[in-house]
Amino acid sequence: MRLILASASPRRKELLARIGIEADAIDPADIDETPRAGELPRVYASRIAAEKAAAVAPRHTGSLVLAADTVVAAGRRILPKTEQEAEARECLSLLSGRRHRVHSAVTLVDREGIARHKTSSTIVTFKQLKPAEIDAYVAGGEWHGKAGGYAIQGYAEAWVRFLSGSHSGVIGLPLFETRILLETAGYPLD
């Protein structure tokens, strides 16, 4: 049974490897990821994961297609995947000393073309960040391309005062939910 990972994220590939799974192919989706007006963060993550899977599945008939999306949210605000230093500073300043949520949605399209969905929501609280800490983190570049401007699997993990939920979901793929979807589709595990 072939498994296609609809993501170019090296972190998702690494996370799958943690549970002994190697995708047979990587085929990232090319979709518009612009949030809709008024769209809530959890709904947005679920929609994007589903759209990624739907875009890739027709190219791999008879295979399992796994897609995911991770969103960092401050209240109802969806934080960007930071591309500029100013964005990273803004996100880190916003998250400093406060609780936020990370929604990580997974969609699996099975061999019959049926899509199943799971979403993990994790609460993360950062310590109060000093301006010098933000400056050093931004200078290190770890924030680049990361939702909310940080990588919990890197240096930013030292800022986490509290986490309730899926650590792997914050990285980019909730392994518990992913494993359930794969088991349901008959993918051989263990």
DSSP 65-89: EEEEEEEEEETTEEPPB--SHHHHH
Buried b (16+ CB within 10 A) or exposed e, 11-44: bbbebbeeeebebeeebebeeeeebeeeeebbbb
Q: Which of 32, 69, 135, 190 is catalytic?
A: 69
Question: Contact, 116 vs 59, CB < 8 A?
Answer: no
69 catalytic residue (yes or no): yes
Active site residues: 69
